[in-house]
Amino acid sequence: MGQKLLIVEDEEDLRIVLQYSLQKEGFTVYTTAKGSEGIALCKTVKPDLMILDLNLPDMYGIDVCSTIRSSPGIENLAILMLTAKTQEQDRVKGFEVGADDYVLKPFSTKELILRIKALLRRSFDPQKKSILMFGNIRMEPLSHQCFVDEEEISLTALEFRLLQKFLENIGVVLTREILLQDVWNMDPKVNTRTVDKHVQRLRNKLGGSGQFVHTIRGIGYRLRLPKENP
């Protein structure tokens, strides 16, 4: 059985085409037209990735994503959002509630498949270090694992990329603009609290080690030990 995908899309024709195309790629595909059913399926079939439309008949895709991120056991599911809207703000809202990637309709099925595979692969530059360490944090990018005090913690794709960015730039102040551009691939001029919300989530998952991620007021963040001078 291939990796499991869940399509939550109310356009029947598109849903059928995507299911057929993804099954040809070797994926096991589940589908539904409703957000509430999508949430239920996430809990039962535990997909590896969800393709989520924003405009659903029973609830807004943003709310589906938010519910997933706050549900133990499925909170780290990879989420790729679809929408026909072109406003930047819709994309921003998706990232703010925890979406990992975003595709605007209309799109080519080939492009979508490539984006799905990239998310599932958690592709990393092979030239980068195979192990990144700081304090009691250890990250292994090639196996997509992160440990605190040798206990593995579960991170979403974006949280993993965010922490990796910090670990590759220890002691360097990373502005919100740099993080938006390098981690989210978003226009750095966009006004959003996406970075701050994800940093807070990352701190929470790191537990006591979250104190290593310091806020540089009005600028951004820096990874450093608590005893170091600001």
Helix, strand, coil percentages for the chain (3-state, nearest 5): 40, 20, 35
Alpha carbon distance, N-terminus to C-terminus of the chain:
51
- Beta strand 101-104 with 78-83 is parallel
Return the CATH superfamily for domain 4-121. Answer: Response regulator (3.40.50.2300)
- How many of the other CB atoms lie within 10 Å of CB of 136? 15
- How far apart, in whole angstroms, are the C-alpha atoms of residue 163 and residue 159? 6
- Quick one: tokens of 173? 């102040």
Helix 109-121 with 12-24: angle, nearest 10 deg:
60
Report the CATH architecture of 132-223: Orthogonal Bundle (1.10)
Sequence spans of domains, the chain: 4-121, 132-223
pTM: 0.66
- Quick one: tokens of 143? 């196996």
Reading the chain (230 residues) residue by residue, the pLDDT tens digits are 578 999 999 999 999 999 999 999 999 999 999 999 999 999 999 999 999 998 899 999 999 999 998 898 888 899 999 887 666 677 778 888 888 888 888 888 988 998 898 888 753 444 445 788 898 999 988 778 899 998 999 998 889 999 999 998 988 899 999 998 888 877 777 777 889 999 999 999 999 999 999 999 989 999 987 655 45
